Amino acid sequence: MTASTFQSLEDVIRDGHFPDTDLALRRGRHIGRDDGAAYEFLVDAADHLEPFYRRFGCELVQRSDGYFYLLPSGDKLGRRHLSAGEMLVGQTLALLYLDPSTVQHGGVLGRETLLQRLAGLVGTESLVRTLSPRRRKFDERVAAETVRTQVGEAVRKLADLGFVDVVDDGRLRLRPALLRFAEPVRGLEDPTRALEKLVIRGEVILGDAGNTGDDDSTSDDEGSP
């Protein structure tokens, strides 16, 4: 064990930061350096909390990029997979996080930049069909409005999960946790093989696992994959 200010799990649980941090982790939030005290608490208490969460069938994951998250592997704690909209927005934000242009503004970017990049990468039609798979006919104006709404909703959910901070109505601050979306291509191995490994570790699921459509994008996936 590294030098921790906590002598025992009891000390950790007694700490004032524990309740909020624990609840945030269980709700899927990624806690990073930007979260200040909560992150410091996790760094300090990680040695005690890892076995603690293991008893709930979860792994407390710490990434070298500077964030923690909880990864359920059993059926004791619920889990969900991100919707198609959240995945597309998350991957695009990860790409923007890597872009030197974002560095100029300290990781802050406008929603318009996100929409432009998303449309440029995926293509407008493909984007509309992915975000609204049940619709067969599209009016251009309505489709654009739908895309903006779906992207806005995805951003809100990604913010709840600690991937971005919403600075104001028009701007977002990108957080290192976005690199989770780039995980399949971070190594030099074949992306398909890397994805398989991530599936085995319970980090991702493959396939068309439910879409946003016009419904609520939350897709519960309680229990084993």
**Site for another protein, residues 119 to 178, rule: CB under 8 A:** 121-122, 126, 130, 161, 176
- Smaller CB separation from another protein, 45 or 89: 89
CB of 58 to another protein, least distance (A): 7
What is the distance between the alpha carbons of residues 116 and 138, in angstroms, rounded to a whole number?
Answer: 20
List of residues 6+ apart from 53 with CB closer than 8 A = 25, 59, 60, 70
- Smaller CB separation from another protein, 11 or 100: 100
The phi and psi torsions of 178 (rounded to 5 degrees) equal -60, -25
213 is an interface residue for another protein by CB under 8 A: no
CB of 142 to another protein, least distance (A): 21
List 52, 152, 195, 213, residue binding another protein (CB under 8 A): 195
25 is an interface residue for another protein by CB under 8 A: yes
83 is an interface residue for another protein by CB under 8 A: yes
Give the three-class secondary structure for 173. Answer: strand
List 107, 115, 146, 212, residue binding another protein (CB under 8 A): 107
Range 99-122 burial, b when 16+ CB lie within 10 A, else e: eeebeeeebebebebbbebbbeeb
